[in-house]
Structure 1
Amino acid sequence: MQPRIPRPTVVAAAIVALTLVTLAGLLAPALWYELVERREPGRLVAGGAGVAAILVLYARLFWLNLMRRTAPVHSLGLAAIAALCWTLPAVLGGAGGWGNLLMVPAGLIAVVLPLRQAVAVTVVGGVLTPVYGLLLGLPALNILYEAIGFPITAFSGYVTVWLFHVVQELREARTELARSAVGAERLRFARDLHDVLGHSLQAVALRAEVAERFVDRDPPRVRKELTEIQTMARDAVRDVREIVRGYRATSLRTELEGISAVLQAAGIRCDRPEIPDLPAHVHEPLGWVAREAATNILRHSGASWCRISLGTDTRVHLEIVNDGADRRSHTPGTGLHGLAERVAAASGEFTAGPDGDGTFRVRASVPLEKPLETSLPSGKRES
């Protein structure tokens, strides 16, 4: 079972609490010595107040730096803790465990100070602490313990805060990746919806206009157009459902037959080539190119003819040319950007633009042999 990761504030509170428990265990022998051995209320009150102040200030500084609320004034707090930890043994004597206070500031050095300053202070503290212990008359074993433990404690404090921040950054990165994945999926869905509905609705509108023109003089033609409108509407509903399911397969042959019929119904002469047997991976990107090109011709141009050509060598080349470039906007739209992404994902090449002679040309080519690593748009399957 994978454990649930608590919130950052909960983890930080746990780290601070465990640190205080460790410090309390380090300082408890001194207070126990004053309570049981010395039995002097003044010394006990002074020692207890000093220890409480140290623990409170230590916890505050540790918490703020875990939460990345660093400030220059924190170095003054570290200096205050160091002053208390060095003053209490001098006042109360090094016996009874008060010498352990000399180790306490080490845990905050690398937490509060910048790294370079922390290294310098740790080196200086690692030298001065044993010397000060000698002046206090501490046993040789205690002095050796402080000489070794001071840099280790400083490093431990640094690693604790560093690991906490690394975990938080990883957590934020995971959240951002999830957000990016959702955004990418929304863009994919929006692109697919645009490609499908843009073509289908344009075709429905065109058929409706044709039916309107013949409503009085050719009722059989109107009935035929209405039947086609119903069929297109049902197909559009089916396509949307398939997009939602993420399983829509595009066929180049079907797309070229469909756009040829729609363009001819709009009065645009359309030459369509014979479609040879092509590999399955070719149909998806080139089918989308044919669909979007036809949609743009109907929506943006005043073309009178359209020529579709298809060729194969080591690649499959699709070219769609129309004569409506001089009456259309040449600014690439969402559909063309989406096509470029689809064809690039199939290791292909895509260009679209006016030729300068009044024609607009769309070219796309994809490898005849399927690449070893072809990255199809998310949620698609080959036809």
Structure 2
Amino acid sequence: MQPRVPRTRVIATAIVVMSLVALGGTLVPALWYEMFTRQEPGRVAYALLSVTGMLALYGRLLWGNLMRRTHPRHRVGLAVIAAISCLLPAVLGPVWAAALVMPAGLIPLVLPLRAAVPVTAVGALGITGYGLLLGLPTPTVVYEFFWFPFAALSGYISYWLFHVVQELREARAELARAAVGEERQRFARDLHDVLGHSLQAVALRAEVAERYLDRDEERVRKELAEIQRMARDSVRDVREVVRGYRATSLRTELDGASAVLSAAGIRCRPPQGFPDLPAHVHQPLGWVAREAVTNVLRHSSATWCRIEVTATGGGVRLEIVNDGAGRRAAPDGGSGLAGLAERIAAADGEFTAGHRGDGTFGVRAVVPVESPRHAGELRAEGAG
């Protein structure tokens, strides 16, 4: 099962916390040395204040840049972190050499990329010369020379992946809105094609009738009769459009579900090869499929949707499960699900929908192939 992608703030918080834990962990040996080996209150206080201030400022800058709240003063904050990281080994000794790499991860976030690359290269060379000047061991200096650009690259990759996930989430929401909007436009276009010509013709006939109102009653009567006929034809055409739009079947809905969900970035593979079903089974299950897929698009943050059609005990079971309902669904299940329950009950079937223990949301409908009501209708037709 693919894990659900958390919200943007949750991901940003996780990145900040993990970064601070990782950076703080590199300084724990030096801090432990000051507190439990040297045990000089002045040095311990200086170390604690420096580490606390540096990590707090680091976390603030990282959070602001992840949330795109950039500001020119962030460069001042980066300079302050660099100054503290350089002072720690100078004041407290070589045991604090790891602090020299602290500002590296923020360089590609605070500075533009075209400036971050040369600054990272200068920083790697700078801490190498500074470490030699302080008398740090050669292996430590070499290690930090390679560690500095690696830390900068790691910060940039985290920043880039964070915003890629955010943009993909926004793109998927936009695709879902586009899919719903496209269906509305299709219906509006069909309705316009049906009514546009008819209503224009009715208007012209009414103008003709008005023109002959005082001169030729027979012509007016004929025009009014024609207007009535055209109006009835228009009503019939509209009913046919609405009936075609509202009529559904399980096979039709499943054929379109995969394409619509895939366009919205939701993995879905519809079932293949299920047998032909009678109309009284196809239509209610088709309504279930349509409403369930619509709910996945409109009301969830799903990454996958599973659709299963199986034969069970003289009936057909349709089950649609997705991983993105969360807690955003209405507590009462919503009017759409209530309508589905009524439709399935009318077909002598069973309907359930709700959250499951594994964090998914499922819709399940079972319709008998030979319901008592349908069997009675067949007997009545045979007797006729």
TM-score tier (shorter): 0.5 to 0.7
CA distance in 2 between partners of 1:45 and 1:209 (Å): 95
Aligned ranges for residues 1-383 of structure 1 at < 5 Å?
A: 1-95=1-95, 98-203=96-201, 228=229, 231-242=232-243, 244-245=245-246
1:306-327 residue CA offsets vs partner (Å, 9 max, x unmatched): xxxxxxxxxxxxxxxxxxxxxx
Residue 108 of structure 1: how far off its partner (Å) = 1.0
% identical aligned pairs: 57
Aligned-pair distance for 1:49? 0.6
Asked whether the 8 Å contact 2:198–2:230 carries over to 1, the reply is no
Secondary structure of the residue aligned to 2:2 is: coil
The residue identity in structure 2 corresponding to 1:139 is P
TM-score normalised by L of structure 1:
0.57
Cα offset, 1:245, TM superposition: 3.4
Coordinate RMSD, CA, aligned: 3.0
Give the Å deviation of 1:9: 1.6
Deviation at 1:199, TM superposition (A): 2.7
CA distance in 1, matches of 2:107, 2:236: 70
Q: Residue 10 of structure 2: SS of its match in structure 1?
A: helix
Deviation for aligned residue 1:168: 1.8
Give a deviation string over 1:189-221, Cα, whole Å, max 9, x none: 222211112233345566778999899769997
**1:58 and 1:81 in contact (8 A); partners too:** yes
Determine if contact 2:206/2:224 at 8 Å carries over to the other structure.
no
Change (3 A) 1:197 1:134: same
Q: Which amino acid aligns with 2:7?
A: R
Write the deviation string for residues 69-124 of structure 1: whole angstroms up to 9, x where unpaired: 222221111110000000011111112xx111011111111111112221111111
Q: Are the aligned partners of 1:78 and 1:112 in contact in 2 as well (CA < 8 Å)?
A: yes
Query: SS in structure 1 opposite 2:60?
Result: helix
Task: Identify if the C-alpha distance between structure 1 residues 87 and 196 changes in structure 2 by more than 3 Å, giving closer, same or farther.
Answer: same
Q: For the structure 1 residues 114 and 61, does the alpha-carbon distance in structure 2 shift closer, same or farther, using more than 3 Å as the test?
A: same
Work out whether residues 195 and 234 of structure 2, in 8 Å CA contact, stay in contact via their aligned partners in 1. no
Kindly tell me: are residues 220 and 64 of structure 1, through their superposed partners in 2, closer, same or farther at Cα, counting changes over 3 Å?
A: closer
What is the number of equivalent residue pairs in this alignment?
245
Shift of 1:163: 1.6
List gaps (5 residues or longer) in structure 2.
Answer: 249-384
Q: Between Structure 1 and Structure 2, whose CA radius of gyration is higher?
A: 1
**Residues 206 and 143 (structure 1), Cα distance of their counterparts in 2 relative to 1, 3 Å cut:** same
Amino acid in structure 2 at the alignment position of 1:134: L
In 1: Cα distance, 2:203 partner to 2:43 partner: 95
8 Å contact from structure 1 (residues 207, 228) kept in 2: no
Letter aligned with residue 244 of structure 1? Y
CA distance in 1, matches of 2:118, 2:21: 28
- AA aligned to 1:240 is V
Distance 2:237 2:46 in 1: 84
- Looking at structure 2, the residues matched to 162 and 222 of structure 1 have their Cα atoms a distance apart, in angstroms, of 70
AA of the residue aligned to 1:11: I
Residue 342 of structure 1 is matched in structure 2 by none
Q: In the aligned structure 2, how far is the partner of 1:13 from the partner of 1:211?
A: 73
Structure 1 residue ranges without an equivalent (≥5): 248-383
Aligned amino acid, residue 80 of structure 2: A
The 1:241/1:43 distance shift into structure 2, 3 A limit, reads: same
- Structure 1 pair 40–243 and aligned structure 2 pair: CA distance change class (3 A): same
- The equivalent residue for 1:327 is none
1:217 and 1:123 mapped to 2: Cα distance?
A: 96
Match of 1:325 in 2: none
User: What SS is found at the alignment partner of 1:104?
Assistant: helix
